[in-house]
Structure 1
Amino acid sequence: MLIWRIEAKLSNETLGGHLDASRRPPQVDSVKRSELLAAFPEAVRTEAARRAIDDYRRAASQGPSPSREEVERAARAHAERLTGPRVRTVLNASGVILHTGLGRARLAPSVAKALAGAAEGHLALEVDLTTGSRGDRQEVMREMISKVVGGESSFVVNNCAAAVYCALSALGSGKEVLLSRGEMVEIGGSFRMPEVIEASGCRLVEVGCTNKTRLADYERAMNPETAVIVRCHRSNFKMTGFVESPSSQELAELARSRGIVFLEDVGSGCLVDTSQFGAPKWYRVQDALAAGAHIVAFSGDKLLGGPQAGLLVGDGTLMDRIARHPSARASRVDKLTVVALSETLRLYWTGRSLEIPTLAYLARSLETVRGYAERIASAAGVETAIEEGITEIGGGCGEGEGVATVRVGLASRDPIALATSLRQGEPSVLTRIERGRVWIDPRTLEPEEVEAVVGVLKSKEEWE
């Protein structure tokens, strides 16, 4: 679009200088009366005209002044952006399946369809249609979690950090919580597990060393004020070499022998054996329950492949205490999350889990991905390289771990400019820059999206 061409002229130098009378920009009132803006509301016309005139001033201070027609077309482009969706859809060719910046897990088509219906209509969210009495929004999720994951009961809040916070607020406030120094992770957005524990009203007791924490370290730290042992899996970093930590089963047995709670935060929400897809075998929610954890906390929008949510599964009595705590109300999920999570879990229960995009992308054959890569490379108007690589899982699920892929590298004089043009185009294509090339990883693209990328490359008139 013209607006980007105008701005591109300005990116290399600091703006400065003054305009003489012959180069003064048009007036806002004049621009907003352009026929190109006639279909837009008054407020949009005014804002678009002001932005286009700002573009004019920046361009004119660097070189030739844009023409009146160019200013009006730039105003039209601004108006379209102002009235279009503020959060755009993106074709994810970044090489990361669970890209946090793109909202992590992509929902299955059947889940998206159920969501649309829920958004447009009323739901029996908290009404028992048989008796007409008040119901519980947790019940439909609890039923599916029980069928798919197990555990006596469950409780769902809006994210995993909130799940841990709610559990500790209800079960350990005013008392001590034990956490290994090797598990004091930062979970994203500068939030750290020790801060979540302290915010819940619990007193954090650090156990062991960064690289080695033994069962005896937990035993020595216990006293009558100890309420909970927390295990936080190192999902977004690795620790290798001279390291040691007790097993989840050992921690569960210790907690039970002392009459305290063992809470295991497994984060990723993995429910299947991922090694069948050629990926690392991740610790599953079911594994934590089998090890004896009283409560297992995990995310809904990571390897589970559902909406953002924090799930707590385990001991029924403890779940009842959590559900009655005020923090549970403060973290309550809305109707759309209830529907999306329930329908995603239903796909697991009915043997249709490969309809979930996260799992489908993991399971996609290398031959299929190679075919996509070759199709994309054939459309590029520049020299390309096709090479094997790794599609990362992302979302804090194993740093740098993933599955084999085949990707396309576009040669470019200015890789940053090329990646920017692809990202800002229509449709938007998110890529990765490495070794002076712009890389397109098609493992996370649907077949129709591969063709959309092909269309973008074929229609590109100028290659940066």
Structure 2
Amino acid sequence: MSSKNNPINYAQLPAVDHLLKLAEDVHAPLALKTHVARQFLENLRLQLKPDSTLTRSQVESEYLLNLDQILNPIRPVINATGVILHTGLGRAAYSAGMVKRLVEMLSDAYVNLELDLATGQRGNRNDHLRPWLQALTNAENGILVNNNAAAVLLALNTLANRKQVVISRGQLVEIGGSFRIPEILKKAGAKLVEVGTTNRTHLNDFRSAISSKTGLLLWVHTSNYRIEGFTKEVGLAELVELGKEFNLPVMADLGSGALVDIGEYGLRREPLVSEVVKTGVDVVTFSVDKLLGGPQGGVIAGKNTWINRIEKNHLLRALRSDKTQIILTLEALKNYHDPATETPFYRDISISLETLHRRAHAIVQAINPNELKIEICETPGQVGSGAAPTDSFQSVALKLKHNRKSTKSLAAALRQASIPVLGYINEDRVFLDLRTVRTHQDDLLMRILRDLN
């Protein structure tokens, strides 16, 4: 048999059993290890060329690496993008207290998800969050579903199935993943009636579109873009009064859903959920995993009449939240006794430039740059996930250039580090924004940069 370090040909590829023997100490089902080995060898056979320099040792190592990537596809990363609510990185970070409570509640344990402990009868999973949503939004009632898209779909299906929904043309938004309001309306069984123009819509446009077939007036907060200049939009309070005049419900989709004034954190002010509820709107929907700082989820809040109908919609069973979402959302809401310190988003947005500069200088001094050239600079950061789209805030970044690696190769090397580091490329440099790097990750980042140095 040839040495493990000699190039091998097609016929010398190891057998599945040999690869399984290498992985016998890997904690995984045999069926998975076998599936990965077969797929791995099949791909190698397709890629192997007569002049290949691939060795048996490399094949064995690559199989184990491939198996590890499949066993651990979701990994902790260092977010150095400067985007606080990064959709690709899971949006809102959980506070340590949220995670601790989740482990305490669910580690090899049961919870009273749908059991009324007082009566011993079946309970309603939405009751756990109901008083919290009522208190923090000032709505009469509220429930949690799987995400905000689900919230919009369920509310529209309940309020306007087989009816017309009137909405301003300037509010026909699209968010990430091609989620579009017109398509959601169609899936909900409603018919879209768009009024006005992209930049200007008047109350009379809504009034003229109302007919016996109208079931709902819809107002959508354009949380992921801004239209400026020669514009006119119908205020939600005006739309509510029009709804009362024609005995039609009015629904508002807020998207990001702020419970506290983000203007106090240096960002452009967003309408608070409680302010929207105060206009008299019948139903409001918003996300949990953006400005609220919770897990994936969507809230439907509003008047008892409509929330009760929504809870009776059979579609709710397909869109309902599970125990993990409910517990994490509850803990996220508890953080609102002091969001500036307890909610990671508001804590991150509050970090001073002085603190960030101090951390940046400590990292650079610890590395003593050689092959890796590092500058410290101020750079704009972003909220992300469609929240506060036109806002940026000053942050501090490490600006990297490597003597022997291209910018793309350097970014790739950072992504392939023991803990992947995600930055961004600008001006042919790799930027690592420290606002989104956790303080406890600074030492780890130093070690990764030292290895590249």
**Could you say whether these structures have the same fold, taking a TM-score greater than 0.5 normalized by the shorter chain as the test?**
yes
The one-letter amino acid paired with 1:458 is R
Alpha-carbon offset, residue 22 of structure 1:
7.4
Moved more, 435-444 or 363-372: 363-372
1:51 to 40, 46, 49: 40
Match of 2:95 among 108, 117, 124: 108
Say which SS state the counterpart of residue 154 (structure 1) adopts: strand
Contact 1:32 / 1:45 at 8 angstroms: preserved in 2?
no
Q: Distance in 2 between matches of 1:53 and 1:200?
A: 44
Are residues 28 and 138 of structure 1, via their aligned partners in 2, closer, same or farther at CA, if it must alter by over 3 Å? same
Residue pairs, 1:200-349, within 5 angstroms: 200-348=188-336
Amino acid aligned to 1:401:
D
Shift of residue 420 of structure 1? 1.4
Provide, for residues 76-126 of structure 1, a one-character-per-residue CA deviation record: whole Å limited to 9, x for no partner.
Answer: 3334334x3121121111121111111111111111112223332111111
Equivalent residues in 2 for 1:394-409, closer than 5 Å:
394-409=384-399
Alignment partners' CA distance in 1, 2:273 and 2:220: 13
Query: Which position in structure 2 is the counterpart of 1:72?
Result: 60
Tell me what 1:390 maps to.
380
- Aligned residue number for residue 111 of structure 2: 123
Q: 1:409 to 1:52 in 2, by over 3 A?
A: farther
Whether the 8 Å contact between 2:16 and 2:37 is mirrored in structure 1 is no
What secondary structure does 1:330 align onto? helix
Shift in Å, 1:343: 1.2
**Aligned letter for 2:162?**
G
Change beyond 3 A, Cα 1:50–1:255 = closer
Identity among equivalent positions (%) equals 33
1:164 aligned residue? 152
Specify the alignment match of 1:417 in structure 2. 409
Whether the 8 Å CA contact 1:163–1:312 is kept in 2: the answer is yes
1:131 CA drift (Å):
1.8
CA contact (8 A) 2:267 2:388 kept: no
Distance verdict in 2 for CA 1:73–1:214, change over 3 Å: same
Among candidates 424, 428, 431, match of residue 423 of structure 2: 431
Q: Does 1:185 align with 2:177?
A: no
Secondary structure of the 1:396 match is coil
d(CA) in 1 for partners of 2:99 and 2:330? 12
Task: After TM superposition, give the deviation of residue 362 of structure 1 in Å.
Answer: 1.2
Whole-angstrom distance in 2 between the partners of 1:223 and 1:105: 42
CA contact (8 A) 1:31 1:49 kept: no
- Cα shift readout 1:278-327 (whole Å, capped 9, x = no counterpart): 22222221221122222111000000000111101111111101111112
For 2:412 and 2:438, locate their aligned partners in 1 and report how far apart those are by CA, in whole Å. 22
Pairs aligned (count): 440
Shift of the 67–212 alpha-carbon distance from structure 1 to 2, 3 Å rule, reads: same
Aligned partner letter, 1:339 = I
Equivalent residues of 2:8, 2:56 under 8 A apart: no
Is the 1:56–1:66 contact (alpha carbons within 8 Å) kept by the matching residues of 2?
Answer: no
CA distance in 2, matches of 1:384, 1:258: 64
Q: Over residues 197-220 of structure 1, what are the superposed CA-to-partner deviations in whole Å (9 max), with x where a residue is unaligned?
A: 121111111111111001111111
- Normalising by structure 1, we get a TM-score of 0.88
Counterpart-to-counterpart distance in 2, 1:367 and 1:153: 44
Query: Aligned partners of 2:103, 2:51: CA distance in 1, in Å?
Result: 49
Q: Structure 1 181/54 Cα, relative in aligned 2: closer, same or farther at 3 Å?
A: closer
Structure 2 residue 426 is the aligned partner of structure 1 residue 440: no
Most deviating of 209-218 and 29-38: 29-38
2:349 aligned counterpart, secondary structure = helix
Aligned counterpart, 1:9: none
Q: Residue 166 of structure 1 contacts residue 327 of structure 1 at CA under 8 Å; is this kept in 2?
A: yes
Matched residue type, 1:272 = V
2:163 to 166, 171, 175: 175
> Offset of 1:36 from its aligned partner?
5.0
Residues 1:39 and 2:25 are matched in the alignment = yes
Preserved CA contact (<8 Å) 1:28 1:53: no
SS of residue paired to 1:189: helix
Contact 1:36 1:73 in 2 (8 A): no
How far apart in 2 are the matches of 1:298 and 1:442? 29
CA contact (8 A) 2:226 2:390 kept: no
Aligned partners of 1:29 and 1:46 also within 8 Å: no
Q: Secondary structure at the match of 1:388?
A: strand
- Deviation by residue 1:217-244 (Cα, 9 ceiling, x = unmatched): 1111112222211111112222111111
Residues of 2 paired with 1:365 and 1:234: CA distance?
Answer: 29
* In 2: Cα distance, 1:454 partner to 1:377 partner: 8
Aligned match for 1:365, one of 352, 365, 373: 352
2-side partners of 1:46 and 1:134: how far apart? 42
Unaligned runs of 5+ in 2: 1-6
Superposed CA deviations along residues 172-212 of structure 1, whole A, max 9, x for unmatched, are 11211111110111122112101111211111111111110
Q: Pairwise CA RMSD of aligned residues?
A: 2.6
| Residue 450 (structure 2) pairs with residue 458 (structure 1) | yes
Aligned to 1:355: 342
Which region of structure 1 is more displaced relative to structure 2, 278-287 or 338-347?
278-287
Alpha-carbon contact 1:96-1:391 (below 8 Å) kept: yes
Mean CA deviation greater in 111-120 or 291-300: 111-120
Structure-2 change in CA distance of 1:165 and 1:33 (3 Å): closer
d(CA) in 1 for partners of 2:278 and 2:47? 64
Q: Decide which moves more: 444-453 or 378-387.
A: 378-387
Residues 159-179 of structure 1: CA deviation (Å, up to 9, x unaligned): 111111111111111211111
